[in-house]
Amino acid sequence: MVTIFRNVAELINITDKRNTSISEVMIQQEMDISEKSREKVIEQMENNLSVMEKAVEDGLKGVKSRSGLTGGDAVLLQKYMKEQNPLSGHLLLDAVSKAVATNEVNAAMGTICATPTAGSAGCVPGALFAVKEKINPTREQMVRFLFTAGAFGYVVANNASISGAAGGCQAEVGSAAAMASAAVVEIVGGTPQQSAEAFAITLKNMLGLVCDPVAGLVEVPCVKRNAAGASNAIVSADMALAGITSRIPCDEVIGAMFRIGRTMPTTLKETAEGGLAATPTGRALTSKIYGIHVEKE
Amino acid sequence: MKYKSVFDIIGPVMIGPSSSHTAGAARLGRAARTLFGQEPTWAEIYLYGSFAKTYKGHGTDVAIVGGLLGYSTDDKRISNALEIAEKNGLNIRFHEDEASTEHPNTARIKIGNEKSELELVGISIGGGKVEITELNGFELHLSGNHPAILALHNDRFGAIASVTHILAKYQINIGRMEVARKDVGEEAMMVMEVDQNVDDSILRELERADHILQIAKIVD
């Protein structure tokens, strides 16, 4: 009999009963559902980890999107960290720069791993590779980080949405940041319940975030939203590890996100018709970009 | 549960920039190509909702065509799909449709050649995951979570038994099944999600079964 967790409460419950970690529950469920061996499941996740690593590397070398709207900010951040004394501290800015690096590669049509989506692909690797510098984890711990993030994303995707077109940016970067936060807690030795608290705290701070990409491109404001998502993930993880709990339980926060997404107007759900996309500058950029596009045809 | 695997969440590995508008779009194109099972010479692609509003920015058009060429989500050739299609003699037209659809990321893909054609409606539900909601006028709910066999057949008694009998013989288990028909006694469609991949020889045997007109399969 395959045990499937349907929400975060059930997930935490299973970790209690089996006296194990969230990543382990996710690995076992994946083995059951896919009928694959542990080795195969781990191997597939390790491949994804390698793709993320490569994307961060590429982004830190500097890339530019076709539209010219994004690229190069990850390089600026790394330079600033080396040459000056950043206010927010090394780890936080490292996470931000690696999140930005990933999304700059994505915007440049490079190869990335969606976590849970491409537009929000920076939060999870950003947080992971920054924490990596500090605690020097094993490869296995890093793979487990992704299973923990995946376990929470799995609950959100099945109970709410991970699509900007269906639920706004809160469903994408909000979910990604919260997933990263929960995984950070586990990798530094927090409890499953603390992971859930970190997830709830992060997502609460992302509720209501709209999806308003300029010219419909996954660039402005998506790249910088991943920067905010990665930093939110680290700060919320610290809050949970300090013993702070969310007054609203994790599953109810996910429910709130879903309902907010449903009532959000279509103009703010990945249609490029509202928000930043509809600002004078947003519109000017749009006509400039597609003006060029039309000439080509 | 719409999302079954952790790799629906951490994954897919893909060419940017959007999992729903690029990777999902490529998967829809590829599903149409797989089901058509032949080289298409033309394609009419209708985009709705968010797809229609933002496809140029997300490369949705490029990705669907990449899928029609048989590329997977991480194939770097996707970014040149329009040029490659033109070189291969695949004639493509895009339509931005104003009609409102149930899901914001909906595409209707019609492809064909001089012999036959196929029409598929699909939605991209987030994170690269897609569902096929209509095929040649038949409503269906194909998640792509499992390999699936699609059988176009005549609406007669015994049609279903003739197919399931063959699958039973080869010990192939059906996880989910749906049947739809255009009208009583008219054309009908059977969709079976199965637990393992089905050999082409079995598909050919299915095609010769009573009342069966055409067989296609989708691989996980």
Q: Where are the domains of chain B?
A: 6-142, 148-218
| First-to-final CA distance of chain B | 17
3-state secondary structure of A232: helix
The pLDDT assigned to A295 comes to: 37
Is it the case that residue A96 has pLDDT exceeding 90? yes
Query: Which residue on chain A is closest to B63 by alpha carbon?
Result: A109
- CA-CA distances (angstroms) from residue B119 to A203, B69, B107, B218? 40, 16, 11, 15
Q: Give percent of chain A with pLDDT exceeding 90.
A: 93
SS3 of chain A: helix, strand, coil, percent, to 5: 70, 0, 30
> Contact at 8 Å (CB) between A56 and A48?
no
Contact flag B13-A111 (C-beta cutoff 8 Å): yes
The reported pTM is 0.90
B70 SS3 class: coil
pLDDT at A1: 63
Contact B164, B40 (CB under 8 A): no
**Chain B closest CA to A154's CA: distance in Å?**
6
Question: Are A213 and B57 within 8 A, CB to CB?
Answer: yes
Give residue-wise pLDDT tens across range A34-61: 889 999 999 999 999 999 999 999 999 9
Contacts of B220 in chain A (CB under 8 A): none
Tell whether the model's pLDDT for residue A297 goes beyond 70. no
Between CA A283 and CA A293 the distance in angstroms is: 15
- Closest residue of B to A293, CA-based? B56
Helical segments of A139-263, H only? 139-159, 164-167, 169, 175-187, 192-204, 222-241, 250-263
Number of domains in chain A: 1
| CA-based nearest residue in chain A for residue B77 | A109
Which residues of chain B have a CB within 8 Å of the CB of A271?
A: 49-50, 53-54, 104
How many Å lie between the alpha carbon of B134 and the closest alpha carbon of chain A? 20
CB contact under 8 A, A113 and B12: yes
- What is the CB-side half-sphere exposure of residue B204 using CA atoms within 13 A? 3
**A116 with B16: Cβ contact below 8 A:** no
Give domain status of residue A91, yes or no: yes
The C-alpha atoms of residue A200 and residue A156 are separated, in whole angstroms, by 11
pLDDT tens, residue by residue, B177-219: 999 988 898 999 999 999 888 888 999 999 999 999 988 888 7
What is the distance between the alpha carbons of residues A20 and B60, in angstroms, rounded to a whole number?
42
Q: Under 8 Å CB-to-CB from B100, ≥6 apart: which residues?
A: B48, B49
- For position A123, which CATH number holds? 1.10.4100
The CATH code that applies to domain B6-142 is 3.30.1330.90
Query: Between β-strands B148-154 and B174-181, what pairing exists: parallel, antiparallel or unpaired?
Result: unpaired
Q: Do the chains contact at A119 and B18, CB–CB below 8 Å?
A: yes
> What is the architecture of the domain spanning B148-218?
2-Layer Sandwich (3.30)
Chain A residues with CB under 8 Å of B25 CB are none
> In chain A, at which residue ranges do the beta strands (DSSP E only) sit?
111-113
Alpha carbons B176 and A31: distance in angstroms, whole number: 21
Provide the pLDDT for residue A4.
93
Confidence of residue A296 (pLDDT cuts 50, 70, 90): very low
**Mutate: best of B2, B4, B5, B10, partner A, most A CBs <10 A:** B10
Is residue A2, in this structure, part of any structural domain at all? no
| Closest residue in B to A49 (Cα–Cα) | B10
Q: Identify the domain containing residue A186 by its residue range.
A: 8-296
Q: What tokens were used for A223?
A: 């790249």
List the single residue in A114, A151, A166 with the smallest CB-CB distance to B23: A114
Closest Cβ opposite residue A269 in set B9, B50, B57: B50
With a cut of 70, which residues of chain B have pLDDT below it? 220
- Amino acid sitting at position B83: E
Name the residue with higher pLDDT: A267 or B58: A267
Exposed / middle / buried, residue B154 (Cβ in 10 Å: 0-12, 13-18, 19+):
middle
Residue B156 Cα, gap to closest chain A Cα (Å): 36
- CA–CA separation, A99 and A222 (whole Å): 11
